[in-house]
């Protein structure tokens, strides 16, 4: 009997081991995807509850997290529907309209398309202006320095109005200065204080422009905005970014600020709120200080990445050996030379992907905070042209993802054709032709329109010829209007000289 039982037990054990070997163990990737799906479901459920309770700002924050972290999820359409509803209930009709349009115009089947179309028509009726009837943007880009000259503001507004311009974009700039403003660097001394900027530049510009039926947008580079502070207790180095020097293998303080510090994010919200209180029509987030491959290594960013992926991040491990790594003397920015994607280690792409998503999420959170306070404020986001036609290059060079940015609810996307002498253009990019010239820009614009499905969502910054400048006899510089853009694309001209 004992022998029989042993045989039965042994046979059962063999069968059990055999069958267990037949069961396929889920791969780590499948397990991770399952965790992400459950996380998205939990966030969506929390957001629905917040929206039903009337906590629309909290709901919008959660829903934007779902869309940013899980853009390909089967729940994305439902999340966008609840996001649109939350904006509508909060009275933020512009953002509600954008999200309803996204559902109504989606090429993928979704259960919300028909209702979204009805909501689009309803909100357009409330706003009293059909989207197709909105004027085409035709504007000028000016700097703070230009408007500080005697009689410059009056000349700008008068000429812009006479020449049929619709928009003035004031660019706050992003001068390259030393990390410490206590330096005797000449460009540092030219930075105007924030209070003076609002009182002496922005307020008069808005007043006179609106009197002449001109819209006013302010273009800001978020990583540089702290340069306007002149308060004694300003925590400058506390929020500074850090950059990796490949030649020494060490981290160095950057002249730019890190977007990943919560304190700096609150600072941005407060300062941009003060701009909005000046009754500007919109903000443009410029790309003048991109997060390049060697940038973004602030302690906060590294710590957040390590917690998210449960790995230790050593900047030296991100780059494979290459003889072409180096820096540009006296430029406060480290650049790479002839570095192809093959010279990045696998973990570099995980780091860069995280950095790209987090950067965009920070910008969106700042935008959402402002939208809740100023529902009619419009927002544009500048991207490098390489983001559209060379996404891998742009991901490494600038931490930009064109598709994800285009789906993030900005009223328009801005591009600026860059030339051979642009200091932000790497040697490798110049040799491979990844930059965009004026003549090839229409191809990039057309690709953007096909994705965005509306030419009015595309703005292009174009140069004026240098001479002649504006003159009292009516003569003026001729813009490069030989470029043929589809009807509706916004054109912003820079390099204009006026008295």
Range with the poorest average pLDDT among 85-99, 364-378, 392-406, 436-450: 436-450
Confidence of residue 16 (pLDDT cuts 50, 70, 90): very low
What's residue 236's pLDDT? 62
**What percent of the chain has a predicted confidence (pLDDT) above 70?**
73
Supply the pLDDT for residue 465.
57
Q: Average pLDDT in the 196-211 region? A: 92
pLDDT digits (tens, 9 = 90+) for 274-307: 999 999 999 999 998 899 999 999 999 999 999 9
Return mean pLDDT, the chain: 77
HSE-up of 106 (CA within 13 Å, CB side)?
22
Residue 358 pLDDT class (50, 70, 90 cuts): very high
| pLDDT of 91 | 78
> Could you write out the DSSP letters of every residue in 221-238?
-GGGGGGG---TT--TGG
More confident residue, 143 or 234: 143
| Residue 11: count of CB within 10 angstroms of its CB | 10
Which of 190-204, 228-242, 318-332, 448-462 has the lowest average pLDDT? 318-332
Tokens (6 digits) for 227 = 């340069």
What does each C-alpha distance from 256 to 89, 192, 292, 293, 326 come to in angstroms? 38, 17, 12, 15, 19
The whole-number average pLDDT for the span 429-442 is 49
Which pLDDT band holds residue 354 (cuts at 50, 70, 90)?
Answer: very high
Task: Say if residue 194's pLDDT is above 60.
Answer: yes
Give yes or no for residue 10 having a pLDDT over 60.
no
Percent of the chain topping pLDDT 90:
31
Note whether 405 and 411 are within 8 A (CB): no
Return the bridge partners of 458, or none.
Answer: 413
What is the set of domains in the chain, with CATH numbers? 34-127 (1.25.40.10), 136-494 (3.20.20.80)
Q: Best-predicted range by mean pLDDT among 245-249, 269-273, 368-372?
A: 269-273
Q: According to the model, what pLDDT value does residue 99 have?
A: 86
Q: Residue 129: its pLDDT value, please? A: 54
Tell me the average pLDDT across 446-466.
Answer: 84
Nearest Cα residue to 221 out of 283, 296, 310, 179: 283
Q: What is the pLDDT of residue 14?
A: 43
For residues 163-168, give the mean pLDDT: 86
**Residues contacting residue 110 through CB under 8 Å, at least 6 positions apart:** 77, 103
pLDDT band for position 334 (50/70/90)?
very low
Tell me: pLDDT of 188 over 50: no
Q: Give the global pTM.
A: 0.71
**Beta strand spans in 351-480 (E):** 378-382, 412-415, 458-463
Question: What dihedral angle (degrees, nearest 10) is formed by the CA atoms of 150, 151, 157, 161?
Answer: -140
Question: What pLDDT score does 422 carry?
Answer: 37
* Per-residue pLDDT band at 476 (split at 50, 70, 90): very low
Q: What is the pLDDT of residue 158?
A: 86
pLDDT digits (tens, 9 = 90+) for 219-236: 999 999 988 876 655 666
How do residues 63-95 score in pLDDT, each as one tens digit? 888 887 777 677 888 889 898 888 888 878 878
Q: Is 217 in contact with 284 (CB distance < 8 Å)?
A: yes
Could you tell me which residues are beta bridge partners of residue 170? 142, 218
pLDDT in the model for residue 128? 65
- Cα–Cα dist 386/361, whole Å: 21
Q: What share of the chain is helix, strand, coil (3-state, %, to 5)?
A: 50, 10, 35
Helices marked H in 279-329: 299-309
pLDDT band of residue 271 (cuts 50, 70, 90) is very high
pLDDT at 270: 93
Instruction: Name every residue whose Cβ is closer than 8 Å to that of residue 278 and which is 6 or more positions away in sequence.
Output: 198, 202, 203, 206
Task: Compute the average pLDDT of residues 332-338.
Answer: 42
Say yes or no to pLDDT of 432 above 50: no
Distance CA 300, CA 185 (A): 29
């Amino acid at each position: 009997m004992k022998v029989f039982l042993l045989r039965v037990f042994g046979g059962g054990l063999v069968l059990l081991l055999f069958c267990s070997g037949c069961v396929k163990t889920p791969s780590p990737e499948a397990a991770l995807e399952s965790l992400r799906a459950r996380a998205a479901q939990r966030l969506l459920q929390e957001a629905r509850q917040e929206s039903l309770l009337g906590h629309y700002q909290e709901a919008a924050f959660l829903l934007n997290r779902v869309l940013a972290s899980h853009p390909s999820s089967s729940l994305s359409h439902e999340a966008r529907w609840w996001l649109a509803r939350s904006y509508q209930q909060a009275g933020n009709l512009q953002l509600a309209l954008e999200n309803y349009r996204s559902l109504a115009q989606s090429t993928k089947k979704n259960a919300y398309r028909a209702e979204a179309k009805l909501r689009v028509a309803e909100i357009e009726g409330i706003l009293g202006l059909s989207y197709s009837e909105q004027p085409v943007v035709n504007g000028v880009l000016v700097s703070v320095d230009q408007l500080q000259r005697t009689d410059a503001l009056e000349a700008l507004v008068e000429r812009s109005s006479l020449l049929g311009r619709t928009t003035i974009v004031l660019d706050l700039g992003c001068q390259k200065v030393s990390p410490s403003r206590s330096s005797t660097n000449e460009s540092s001394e030219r930075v105007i204080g924030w209070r003076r900027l609002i009182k002496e530049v922005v307020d008069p510009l808005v007043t006179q422009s609106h009197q002449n039926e001109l819209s006013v947008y302010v273009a800001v580079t978020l990583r540089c905005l702290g340069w306007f502070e002149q308060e004694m207790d300003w925590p400058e180095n506390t929020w500074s970014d850090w950059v990796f020097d490949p030649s020494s293998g060490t981290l160095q303080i950057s002249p730019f600020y890190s977007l990943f510090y919560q304190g700096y994010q609150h600072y941005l919200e407060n300062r941009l709120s003060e701009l909005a209180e000046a009754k500007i029509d919109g903000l443009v987030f410029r790309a003048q200080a991109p997060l390049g491959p060697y940038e973004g290594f602030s302690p906060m960013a590294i710590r957040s990445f390590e917690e998210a992926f449960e790995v230790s991040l050593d900047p030296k491990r991100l780059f494979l050996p290459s003889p072409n790594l180096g820096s540009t003397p006296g430029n406060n920015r480290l650049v790479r030379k002839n570095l192809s994607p093959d010279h990045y280690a696998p973990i570099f792409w995980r780091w860069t992907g995280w950095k790209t998503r987090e950067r965009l999420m920070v910008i969106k959170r700042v935008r959402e905070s402002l939208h809740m306070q100023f529902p009619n404020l419009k927002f544009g986001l500048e991207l490098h042209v390489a983001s559209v036609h060379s996404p891998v290059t742009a991901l490494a060079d600038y931490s930009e993802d064109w598709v994800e940015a285009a789906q993030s609810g900005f009223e328009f996307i801005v591009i600026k054709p860059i030339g051979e002498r642009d200091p932000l253009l790497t040697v490798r990019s110049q040799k491979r032709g990844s930059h965009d010239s004026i003549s090839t820009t229409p191809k990039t614009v057309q690709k953007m329109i096909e994705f965005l499905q509306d030419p009015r969502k595309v703005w292009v910054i174009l140069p004026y010829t240098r001479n002649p400048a504006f003159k009292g006899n009516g003569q003026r510089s001729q813009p490069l209007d030989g470029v043929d853009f589809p009807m509706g694309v916004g054109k912003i001209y820079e390099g204009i000289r006026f008295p």
